[in-house]
A and B are shown apart, each in its own frame.
Chain A
Amino acid sequence: MATIHDVMPMFALYQPESVADALRLLDRFGTSAWTMAGGMDTFDWLKDRTKRTEAVVELSNIAELQGIRQTGGGLEIGAMTTLTRVETHPLVKERFRLLSEAAGLVASPQIRHQGTLGGNITQDARCWYYRSGWPCYRAGGNICYADTPTAINREHAILNADRCVAVSPSDTAPALIALDATMVIRSASGERTVPARDYFIGPGVDITRLTVIRPGELLTAIRIPDVWAGADFYFEKVRDRQAWDFPLVNVASAIRLAGNTIQSARIVVGAVAATPLRLDRVEAFIAGKPRTAQTAEAAGRMAIEGAMALAHNGYKIPLMRNLVMRAIRGTAPATT
């Protein structure tokens, strides 16, 4: 239960109006700068006094980070575009329904009106030990409190755990990976682009962050190529409460069919590991096979190979298997 304190501890607030100004500030403050998009992740940390910062760089006044543009080979979505805009934009709905649905299932209306696509994929882990300020691996300590004999770890990882068992909390991330999106990252020294799947990093790479964003860098846009436009899409999010909640497991798939034969597919599962997991082996296995319950069942079994349950999250293994099966069969999701 969160404690309501007085206002947040003091920080200097910067509201730059251009990416260039924002990058200058991030460069100048380095590790003591806090980049804030919609703020829905930021405020919890600062209000709970779990993390502190000297300088907040708030991005909502930067017009070039907003909006959805058509480019030569697809769509470019500014990182500060709100989830409501992503959900309701005609071009996104028409070509990439997968992303529109995923954005529409995030949190609550008020949060979607303010939370941004860039923020949704860049938000920090939601492990409640970490967020409560326990000195765990992710916070720079040397223990994982969620992986002890008495830990409460119902929401935690079943795959690829490495010391830390926190999971990727994003709903839009699996959709963007399934659509082969590219992240555009800028810093004072230039621009780089990163494929969506490589944007997310596990604890084996760096246990203190979930994305490749380093101090001084800014995610400016997400590019979605037309490769999967209008494909057969499936998105499903399972959560305890049908509003506001983070996913227990979510799945995103894009499939190209010839008749009833699967030509190519992307299947990505979220909230089962520190990064959203693209299931390459399953994708390769189903390519060329008919889209049947039998194919889906074999694929589902393959998806959970190597999964390891903690004390309280064993349910995630059959849940992930079943969601992968549904994502391949394309069954209508349970009403949410």
Chain B
Amino acid sequence: MTEMVQSGVSRRSFIKGAIGAGVAASAAGYLWRTTLSGQDGAAGVVERLITINVNGKDRRVDVLPQETLAMTLRYKLGLTGTKIGCDRGECGACTVLVDDVPRYSCSVLTHMARKSKVVTIEGLEAADGTLHPMQQGVVEEQGFQCAFCMPGFVMAAVGYVKTNPNPTREQLAHGCSGNLCRCQDYDKILTALQRGAELMRRA
């Protein structure tokens, strides 16, 4: 670290550079493997260039067959509000709405969401920048500490409240039980999400 600073490379630009190099290396790998394995015309085989509807817009994107929705959202569409925590369907940080239902985007292939409407944390606010009531609830109650888990919690709560607009605290906890917070800030999170649910009912 010290050496890097001395040589005039900031930590941030160094990391950016490293990410860029990684992308180039992996991309080369995929192209090569794709050429080797080939794709045939059997019934049901997927095309790589597809359209998915994200936050109300049709987005044309080149998607690998094995690519997860979390990867596409973050690294192809730049929607980095969706976090990847465990990448194993355990922590909930990657939760997005797929046809209004909360799903772990790390555990959905992008190709599985082709016919669906995907909403991420970036898609919650109104066109004029007004926060979604659930986001407003979080702001008002200052529900999160480090907030890495926040986008996932908010998406899980929005999805749950759509099915149960007036939940008890216990019901809402059950509705968000697929999300983890490493700060162990659950009590304040629930207070904030309850406030968000209340604002959603009023909206």
Contacts and interface: CB of A to CB of B under 8 A. Distances in A.
Interface string A231-247: 00000000000111000
Given A109-B178, A110-B89, A10 B66 contact: yes
A28 B42 contact: yes
A8 interface: yes
Contact of B89 (A6, A8, A14, A43): A43
B184 interface: no
A299 to B, nearest CB: 32
B178 A39 contact: no
Contacts of A257: none
A44 B88 contact: yes
Given A11-B65, A43-B88, A113-B103, 6 more contacts: A2-B88, A7-B67, A10-B34, A39-B109, A114-B104, A244-B178
B107 A114 contact: yes
A6 B26 contact: yes
Given A39-B107, A109-B175, A13 B42 contact: no
Interface of B: 22, 26, 30, 33-34, 37, 39, 42-46, 64-68, 71, 84, 86-90, 92, 95, 101-104, 106-109, 111-112, 115, 156, 160, 174-178
Contact of A15 (B95, B103, B104, B111): B111
A113 B178 CA distance: 11
A43 B160 CA distance: 25
Interface string A101-112: 000000111110
A173 interface: no
Interface of A: 2, 4, 6-17, 21-22, 24-25, 28, 39-40, 43-44, 46-47, 54, 56-58, 60-61, 107-111, 113-114, 242-244
B92 A110 contact: yes
B109 A58 contact: yes
B111 A13 contact: yes
A14 B44 contact: yes
Contact of B66 (A9, A44, A60, A61): A9
B18 to A, nearest CB: 13
6 contacts: A2-B88, A16-B43, A22-B44, A40-B107, A44-B89, A114-B108
